[in-house]
Every structure is written in structure tokens, then in C-alpha cells.
Copies of this chain bind each other. A is one copy, B any other.
């Protein structure tokens, strides 16, 4: 069974680089990648926060939050 990976972003340039350069570099045989735009899907903000996401872009893999560089703070999106 594949592990779920969620890439949270907000459409910022730093986010786009991280999505293209890192999120889509994950082993697709191992991971099911979901890409969530927190600007467009503000209903997912509390889920992201509960998962330990503090800024975007970030990858959630196996319940671990990996913040990648810095695009925007989650508090600036809510």
C-alpha cells in the first residue's frame, strides 16, 4: 500500500519551485501525492495546522511535517 504524502502550498513562487523540484520527485511507487492549495482550499487550513504545518510550502509524509524553504506563514493564509 502506498504512503500518503500531502504537499501544502499557496501558489507562491517558492511553492511552485518546491512542488516541481521536490514534491514531484518523490517515488510515485511508494507515495500517493496530493497537492493542496491552501489559498484556494481554506477548509484544509485547520487540517494542515493539526498536522504540524506552520508554513508553506510543506510536505507531510507519514505524519511528519517537512517545511521546505519559506513561502508564507500559515497564519497569513487564514
Mark A residues whose CB is within 8 Å of B: 5, 17-18, 21-22, 25-31, 59, 61-62, 64-69
Residues of B contacting A66 in the complex (Cβ-Cβ under 8 angstroms): 18, 21-22, 68-69
**A17 with B69: in contact, given A26-B25, A30-B25 (CB under 8 Å)?**
no
User: A3 — nearest CB in chain B belongs to which residue?
Assistant: B25
Inter-chain CA distance A63–B69, complex, in Å, is 14
Residues of B contacting A25 in the complex (Cβ-Cβ under 8 angstroms): 5, 26-27, 30-31, 61
Residues of B contacting A69 in the complex (Cβ-Cβ under 8 angstroms): 65-67
Report the minimal beta-carbon distance from A34 to chain B, rounded to whole angstroms: 15
Contact: B61 with A22, CB < 8 Å? yes
